[in-house]
């Protein structure tokens, strides 16, 4: 099960909490590291690991940034202006993993196909355990 999106949905501030995933590859990892470093310098946000491998439903290497609605109006325009051409995947955190990565999925730059198989009922528990949620 993959997520094919033909229209890019721009981020909207309708959730309490979000993840922004800065996507990169071997050719753009230093650019991504620079963007994540700037985020850490400019904002008081939680910056996750710099994954140089595929993680979760993400089809590209990524670094995750967690932020709240109160940061949205300042952070998202800044991120869009400072993303250095990288694709950024943003999604709400509602507790419904499938909807978070489909209905509540937003993009800066091009959208990419996500691997949503992990959100099938038999895999959801394992995914949550890997995130230390349950």
Which residue is associated with the tokens 């949205």? 72
User: Domain extents for the chain?
Assistant: 15-130
pLDDT at site 101: 93
Q: Alpha carbon 106 to chain centroid distance? A: 9
Residues 91 and 105 sit within 8 Å (Cβ to Cβ)? yes
* pLDDT at residue 77 greater than cutoff 90: yes
What percent of the chain clears pLDDT 70, i.e. is strictly above it? 84
Residues 118 and 100 sit within 8 Å (Cβ to Cβ)? no
pLDDT at site 109: 85
Measured CA to CA, the distance from residue 87 to residue 111 in angstroms comes to: 7
Assigned CATH topology for domain 15-130: Alpha-Beta Plaits (3.30.70)
- The mean pLDDT value for 39-48 works out to 94
pLDDT at site 44: 87
Encoding tokens for residue 15? 């959730």
pLDDT at site 78: 97
pLDDT band at residue 128 under the 50/70/90 scheme: low
pLDDT digits (tens, 9 = 90+) for 112-126: 999 998 887 766 556
Q: Which of 117, 125, 122, 113 is nearest to 89 (CA)?
A: 113
* pLDDT at residue 6 greater than cutoff 70: no
């Amino acid at each position: 099960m993959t997520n094919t999106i033909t229209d890019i949905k721009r981020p909207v501030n309708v959730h309490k909490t979000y993840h922004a995933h800065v996507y990169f590859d071997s050719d753009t990892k230093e650019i991504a590291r620079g963007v994540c470093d700037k985020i850490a310098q400019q904002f008081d946000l939680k910056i996750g690991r710099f994954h140089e491998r595929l993680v979760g439903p993400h089809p590209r290497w990524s670094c995750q940034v967690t932020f709240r609605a109160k940061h949205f109006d300042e952070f998202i325009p800044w991120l869009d202006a400072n993303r250095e051409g990288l694709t950024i995947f943003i999604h709400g955190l509602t507790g419904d993993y499938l909807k978070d990565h489909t209905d509540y999925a937003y993009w800066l730059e091009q959208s990419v196909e996500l691997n949503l198989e992990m959100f099938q009922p038999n895999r959801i528990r394992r995914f949550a355990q890997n995130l230390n949620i349950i």
